[in-house]
Amino acid sequence: MKITNEMRIKNRNTWSRRLAFQAIYSWSINNSSLDELISFYSNDENYNKSNNDYFNEIVSGVINNITSVDNSIDKISEIDISNINLIELSILRCFIFELSYNKKFPNEILISESVKLATKFGGQDSYKFINAFLDNFVKKGLHEKNN
């Protein structure tokens, strides 16, 4: 199979999302500044695999819109946000930002990638929670109400 530019770009976007999720998780634990996060992750071995601008856009977007993002999570989740596992919460925060504010990619791609992250990094059934939450979020159209 010949690797196309479209495939390379898709893979770079996937790496951007993965690193952004990890940065938001790190920020959730130690509340680093945006500059510290960007600096730290720019030294990650996978940073060169990502679209650096896209990574920065997601991380800064989540942090700069955290109140609105978390309010969106509160509206849908039956679990109080303080009781959501930080891995799951970080995935939700990244993808709520992308679904609601960024709007560069189809919902299906973002949901699929969020489920993959939950499968890789979350607990045994994290992917089920993430999938159900994001599916419900999209069905209720909450992502269309944000700027």
Q: The domain spanning residue 83 has which CATH number?
A: 1.10.940.10
Confidence of residue 147 (pLDDT cuts 50, 70, 90): very low
Count of domains observed in the chain: 1
Q: How many helices (H) and strands (E) does the chain have?
A: 7, 0
Rounded Cα gap, residues 114 and 78, in angstroms: 19
CB neighbours of residue 13 within 10 Å: 19
Range of the structural domain that residue 100 is part of: 5-144
Q: How far apart are CA 3 and CA 36, in angstroms?
A: 35
pTM of the model: 0.87
Amino acid type, 131: N
- More confident: 116 or 78: 116
State yes or no: pLDDT of 126 exceeds 80.
yes
Question: For 54-110, what is each residue's pLDDT tens digit?
Answer: 999 999 999 999 999 999 999 888 889 999 999 999 999 999 999 888 777 888 888
pLDDT at 12: 80
